[in-house]
Amino acid sequence: MIVKLGLQTSGYRIPVIILPCQGRDTGSIPVTRSKNIVDRIFYMTEVNVRDANVNDAEGIATVHVKMWQQAYRGQIPDSFLDSMSVEDRTEGWKKELEHPYENTFAYVADIDNVVAGWVTGGVNRDSDLHETSIAELYGIYVLPGYTNLGIGSKLMEKLFQNLKDSGYKQATLWVLDTNEKTRKWYESKGWRIEGKTKSEKRDGFDLNEVRYIRDL
């Protein structure tokens, strides 16, 4: 593996030191590590997109809660977001990872043993879709501070590869109708509005979602 230290200035990243290190090179990615002056120092490090296991439950829950609290602020009531707990979600994820449903997949992006993002998907859960060749992306989240580095794209590619290998031809997903930023990201990745919408009642508020579809 090669570790590159560098400086970030006005959006440009200039490598200044390149160090060969021990380890497997499974694809490197620029990661900015700190929030102050050292903000400008980054290094290229390894991102390992791999199957999620039960030991990842806390890391997945952390990404889940932190990204919900950041991305959905202003779209979902603060009272709901602030009540989300990593401990509760960890328990939920442990159960899901210990007893996964048939034909479902879960992958994490592991950077130096930190779960920097995850994706789940598999058999379609929508009862109105009778076509068995249509899978579903259930959720994709990247840890705040690690976005826009290509991690979400790598996770989506990994899921698509496995869905294709399982014989699926297309996939759908549900996204909050107000989540403009992520909708644009999906559209840039070839997803298109499918037409169906749904509204789910949650503790005192409605979750309004739009369905997207994509060929695999």
Of 129 and 210, the one with the shorter C-beta distance to ligand COA is 210
How many residues of this chain interact with ligand COA, rule: CB under 6 A? 20
Q: Which CB atom, from 168 or from 185, has the smaller least distance to ligand COA?
A: 185
**Quick one: 1 or 207, whose CB is closer to ligand COA?**
207
Report the residue from 10, 22, 148, 199 that binds ligand COA according to the rule CB under 6 A: 148
Residue 67 as a binder of ligand COA (CB under 6 A): the answer is yes
Q: Which of 8, 153, 162, 170 binds ligand COA (CB under 6 A)?
A: 153
Residue 41's φ and ψ, nearest 5 degrees, are -100, 130
> Exposure string (b/e) for 84-114, b if CB count within 10 Å is 16 or more?
bebeebbeebbebbeeeeeeebbbbbbbeee
CB of 10 to ligand COA, least distance (A): 16
Site string for ligand COA, 180-199 (x = CB under 6 A): -xx-xx--x-----------
Is 172 among the residues that bind ligand COA (CB under 6 A)? no
Binding flag, residue 57, ligand COA (CB under 6 A): no
Q: Determine the residue with CB nearest ligand COA.
A: 152
Cα–Cα distance for residue pair 90/4, rounded to 1 Å: 34
- Residue 33 makes contact with ligand COA by CB under 6 A: no
Q: How far apart are CA 30 and CA 9, in angstroms?
A: 14
> Looking at 61, 65, 71, 159, which residue binds ligand COA (CB under 6 A)?
71
Asked if residues 27 and 158 have their Cβ atoms less than 8 Å apart, the reply is no
d(CA 158, CA 104): 13
* DSSP assignment string, 152-191: HHHHHHHHHHHHHHTT--EEEEEEETT-HHHHHHHHHTT-
Burial (Cβ within 10 Å: 0-12, 13-18, ≥19) of residue 216: middle
Q: What is the CA radius of gyration of the chain?
A: 18
When binding is defined by CB under 6 A, the residue of 15, 145, 179, 207 that contacts ligand COA is 179
Contact between 141 and ligand COA by CB under 6 A: the answer reads yes
- If one asks whether residue 104 binds ligand COA (CB under 6 A), the answer comes out as no
List of residues contacting ligand COA (CB under 6 A): 67, 71, 139-142, 147-153, 175, 179, 181-182, 184-185, 188
